[in-house]
Structure 1
Amino acid sequence: MSDTTQAPALPDHLSIDPRSPHHVAAVFEHDIGIRFNGVERFDVEEYCISEGWVRVPAGKTLDRKGRPLLIKIKGKVEAFYK
């Protein structure tokens, strides 16, 4: 049997944090990938294609609420379904 459900189009700005206004739960029903400067990244927490940046954890550093401290890296961003 083939899967007839269509994946929604990937948004320009997406976050994996459910508290973020840029979180779209329907997108995460399918596996997505992020290619940053030509290399696939597996640690991206948030991205914006039009502005050309991704947010990734800064090592093991945590903020005061116990969440990973994120840094913004600029470059070419591509989002795709796996």
Structure 2
Amino acid sequence: MSFVLKLKYFFEEQGFHIASRLAEKLGMRTNSVRLFFIYISFVTAGLWFGVYLTIGFVMKLKDLVRAKRSSVFDL
């Protein structure tokens, strides 16, 4: 087995072990804890993408409002 697959299996085993221990301590099902981590990762990634789009929109809006005119007759 290659090193990459061994590394992948190691991280999967440790990650599932963490989720199962956390679920055991909280008295929940393991699937619920895993789904929570999956959903929260999508939410946080989507949140920063939304911030990126908002900043881009504000910068474009600023350029439209503050158009540079070379003379008075460009109005």
TM-score bucket (shorter structure) = under 0.3
TM-score (norm 1): 0.18
TM-score (norm 2): 0.19
Q: In proportion to residue count, which structure has more strand?
A: 1
Q: Which has the higher contact order (CA 8 A, sep 6+)?
A: 1
Q: In proportion to residue count, which structure has more helix?
A: 2
